[in-house]
Structure formats: structure tokens, C-alpha cells
């Protein structure tokens, strides 16, 4: 930990040391950094320390190719970043740190999530989304208040799939606030993280938030395992969706019907089937790509 308490900007985020049990995990989310690993070249770390930009770039490429196996290089990359790199190498280093998924990168990426250049902030947010734990979670929550709309949306997306977030309840509260501030990406992340009560609260946004945004969010909720979201909650949400009675709703329910796991809840399945039947012929334009 650095000596300076980090002031008002980042101190709280980086000083956090609590540990709460993990209560939510992303669904269907292959980690972006989880690529087939290539062994880290033995001279990669040496080349990272080079004064030659091309050497550094080549080493960063090699570390990225190694994916998680590049983690031993993460400390060196952080050191190099701390000394300062050109904008192009800064971006490459941030992306590489994300791919290593090394906790060593947490703090550095949290700093860069506050960089003045929006491109660098977006890269840092994306990289933080690949990491794990409280520091990235706090940095991503902070980025929901970023002055840049794109950064806010990206942070809202990444936070839903973040592993090791020990403050899920607070995160969901932030995401609701973001959704109320028209950060639509927050809806899907709420769907990934919400507990039943919050999931129902999310369903309460039907008719307020555009349905295409809500569809992605409710899809996340309804396909989560029964240990996370109980049958009654899912049935309640499906009933609320059904009440909208539009062609888009019918399409959504049909899609859900087709994706429903064979071993999934029969009661929920029956509710979906009834809703599909009830909304057949509902008014409104169907999406062109919707299967007929």
C-alpha cells in the first residue's frame, strides 16, 4: 500500500480491505482474458524494462499472448506504467494487465480508471472488469459517476460480471442509481447481481425503461440458477412482463421459452408457456430479426 492516503479521489477505493462472501457470480461469461495460453518468453520481463518502445511493445504482446500465464510480468508492467509510458504503450500495458488477471494490477488500473484521457479510462475499465476483488469493484463503482457517458456505460457493464465483488448490495444500489440516470447498461448488470427483492424492483422498471433494455436485464435474472433466484420471483417477473402484452414481449417470451433449460423449473416453464400463448397476436412491431 502506498504511503499517501490517496485523498478524496481514490483513497476509499484502494484502502478497502473487508471481505464478504461472494454472493453473486456472472452467468454465461467467458472471461475475456481466458485465452489459450502461450508460455511467457523468458526474456519478456527484461524487454519490458527496455528504453526502446518497440521492445516494450513486443514484450507486452508476448505477455498478452500468455494470458493468465503472463501474470509474473504484471509487477514489471505496473512498475513501467508508474514511471510513465507513451499513450500507445500506456494503452497496451493496461490491456495487458487486464489479460494477466493479476491482482498486482488492481491498484495501477484503478489509478488509470481516473486518467484524463477518456480512451485510457475506457481501457482501464475494461481491464478492471477482468480482475477480481474489492479494489476493481470499487473502482468500477466510482466510474459509474465518470463525466464520460461511454465510461459510465462500460463500467456498468463490467461490474455485472466482476468476480470477487464483496459489496454486491451496495453495487446493485449504485447500479439502480445509474439506471435512473439513464445508464442503460446498468440494467443487465443488475440482472446479473440482484437478489430476489432487487430483481423485483428491477422488474418494476418495466414500462419506464425501454423494453429492449429491460429484456436483456430480465433475461439475466430469469436464467440464473434457482439457488440465486427462486421460482416465485421468476414467476412474478414473467407475469409482470406478460402484462405489457406487446409483440416485443411476445418475442422475448418466445426466446426465453426456447432457451429454458430442460432441467429448469417446470413451474416457471409453465408460466412462460402460458405467457407466450397469452401474448400471441399482441400489438406492436416485431423486431425484423425476430424469428416468426
Q: What x-and-dash track marks residues 9-38 binding another protein by CB under 8 A?
A: xx----------------------------
In angstroms, what is the minimal distance from the CB of 271 to another protein?
35
In the bound state with another protein, the residue whose beta carbon lies nearer, of 63 and 124, is: 124
Compute the distance between CA of residue 159 and CA of residue 152 in angstroms, rounded to an integer: 11
User: Residues 162, 136: contact at Cβ < 8 Å?
Assistant: yes
In DSSP terms, which residues pair with 132 in a beta bridge?
163
Find, among 184, 177, 188, the residue nearest to 222 by Cα. 188
Select from 15-23, 86-94, 97-105, 203-211 the region that touches another protein (CB under 8 A): 86-94
User: Binding of another protein at residue 52 (CB under 8 A)?
Assistant: no
C-alpha cell at 156: 456498468
Minimum distance of another protein from residue 183's CB (angstroms): 8
Q: Is residue 149 within 8 Å of residue 167, measured between CB atoms?
A: no
75: contact with another protein by CB under 8 A: no
Cβ distance to another protein smaller for residue 44 or 144: 144
Q: How far apart are CA 120 and CA 198, in angstroms?
A: 33
End-to-end CA distance of the chain: 58
* Candidate residues 15, 20, 23, 181; the one interacting with another protein per rule CB under 8 A: 181
Residue 54 touching another protein (CB under 8 A):
no
**Choice from 15, 34, 177, 266 touching another protein (CB under 8 A):** 177
* 112 near another protein, judged by CB under 8 A: yes
Q: Which residues bind another protein (CB under 8 A)?
A: 2-10, 51, 53, 81-87, 89-90, 111-112, 114-118, 120-121, 144-148, 152, 174, 177-178, 181
Amino acid at each position: 500500500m502506498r504511503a499517501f492516503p490517496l485523498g478524496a479521489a481514490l483513497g476509499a477505493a484502494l484502502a478497502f480491505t473487508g471481505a464478504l462472501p461472494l454472493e453473486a457470480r456472472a452467468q454465461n461469461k467467458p472471461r475475456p482474458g481466458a485465452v489459450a495460453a502461450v508460455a511467457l518468453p523468458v526474456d519478456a520481463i527484461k524487454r519490458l524494462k527496455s528504453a526502446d518502445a518497440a521492445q516494450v511493445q513486443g514484450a507486452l504482446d508476448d505477455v498478452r499472448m500468455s494470458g493468465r500465464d503472463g501474470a509474473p510480468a504484471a509487477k514489471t508492467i505496473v512498475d513501467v506504467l508508474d514511471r510513465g509510458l507513451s499513450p500507445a504503450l500506456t494503452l497496451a500495458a493496461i490491456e495487458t494487465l487486464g489479460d494477466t488477471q493479476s491482482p498486482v494490477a488492481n491498484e495501477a488500473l484503478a489509478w488509470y480508471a481516473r486518467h484524463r484521457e477518456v480512451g485510457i479510462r475506457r481501457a482501464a475499465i475494461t481491464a478492471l472488469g477482468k480482475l477480481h476483488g474489492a479494489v476493481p469493484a470499487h473502482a468500477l463503482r466510482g466510474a459509474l459517476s465518470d463525466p464520460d457517458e461511454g465510461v459510465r456505460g462500460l463500467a456498468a457493464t463490467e461490474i455485472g460480471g466482476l468476480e470477487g465483488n464483496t459489496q454486491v448490495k451496495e453495487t446493485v444500489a449504485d447500479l439502480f442509481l445509474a439506471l435512473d440516470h439513464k445508464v442503460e447498461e446498468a440494467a443487465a448488470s443488475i440482472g446479473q447481481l440482484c437478489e430476489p427483492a432487487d430483481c423485483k424492483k428491477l422488474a418494476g422498471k418495466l414500462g419506464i425503461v425501454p423494453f429492449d433494455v429491460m429484456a436483456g436485464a430480465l433475461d439475466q435474472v430469469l436464467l440464473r440458477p434457482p439457488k440465486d433466484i427462486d421460482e416465485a420471483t421468476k414467476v412474478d417477473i414473467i407475469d409482470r412482463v406478460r402484462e405489457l402484452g406487446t409483440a416485443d414481449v411476445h418475442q422475448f417470451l418466445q426466446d426465453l421459452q426456447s432457451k429454458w433449460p430442460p432441467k429448469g423449473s417446470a413451474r416457471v416453464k409453465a408460466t412462460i408457456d402460458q405467457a407466450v400463448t397469452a401474448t400471441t397476436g399482441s400489438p406492436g412491431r416485431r423486431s425484423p430479426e425476430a424469428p416468426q
